Chains A and B, each alone.
Chain A
Amino acid sequence: DTAVSQTPKYLVTQMGNDKSIKCEQNLGHDTMYWYKQDSKKFLKIMFSYNNKELIINETVPNRFSPKSPDKAHLNLHINSLELGDSAVYFCASSQEGQGAKNTEAFFGQGTRLTVV
């Protein structure tokens, strides 16, 4: 029973296409995130979102947009894909509002996006 699940696991697409990656969590968490693992294997936060606000990392191009149909889902839409978008994208969730001790993130298994 996967806590945070992403689909697809692998995505190969052509430049210029628009694609989405889905993320679902069944932990009842109120905050979800998207991370990008860059070419140097670093994890960089792209977005964090709860029912109150969306926080966007200002370095993320506006071709990337998160969509949250409900509290358990945060999908990542990418328009006009570029070669440099190739990376592994991780979704995560955590529970806020219950003190610093409960802030650890639970990650999905990652989606490897390859733009050709």
Chain B
Amino acid sequence: ILNVEQSPQSLHVQEGDSTNFTCSFPSSNFYALHWYRWETAKSPEALFVMTLNGDEKKKGRISATLNTKEGYSYLYIKGSQPEDSATYLCARLIWGYQKVTFGTGTKLQVIP
């Protein structure tokens, strides 16, 4: 993997369903991985900062895991709600803080 890739690109789920999506990234020179939530017409807001292989983070119904050796992170949303509708971005940082690369995002729409 040469770039930061996210899949799927978009996702529609019913309210109450649980869902997950993937961020894949080059594993070399890994420093940190960020997850951001980006609502339409707003600016991205940080959800998680993950730094160690095996990290698991949780905030309410949203959680994330990290595998730095194989270069992927999963974001999980349990019991999706309409207010979860947003684009979820991941960003990989490598040594040298300025070298941050964003993924293309997963656009989630939760249908009431």
Q: What is A's interface to B at a CB cutoff of 8 Å?
A: 4, 31, 33, 40-45, 48, 55, 90, 94, 96, 99-110
Contacts and interface: CB of A to CB of B under 8 A. Distances in A.
B31 A100 contact: yes
A109 B89 CA distance: 16
Contact of B97 (A31, A40, A41, A110): A31
Interface of B: 31-32, 34, 42-46, 49, 51, 87, 89, 91, 93, 97-98, 100-102, 104-105
B32 A43 contact: no
A101 B97 contact: no
A106 B46 contact: yes
B49 A100 contact: yes
A103 B45 contact: no
A42 B104 contact: yes
Contacts, number: 59
B101 to A, nearest CB: 8
Contact of A100 (B32, B43, B98, B105): B32
Contact of A90 (B31, B32, B43): B43
Contacts of A109: 42-43
A11 to B, nearest CB: 16
Contacts of A94: 97
A101 B49 contact: yes
Most buried by A among B34, B51, B100: B100
14 contacts: A4-B43, A40-B104, A41-B104, A42-B102, A42-B104, A45-B101, A90-B44, A100-B93, A102-B49, A105-B44, A105-B100, A107-B43, A107-B44, A109-B42
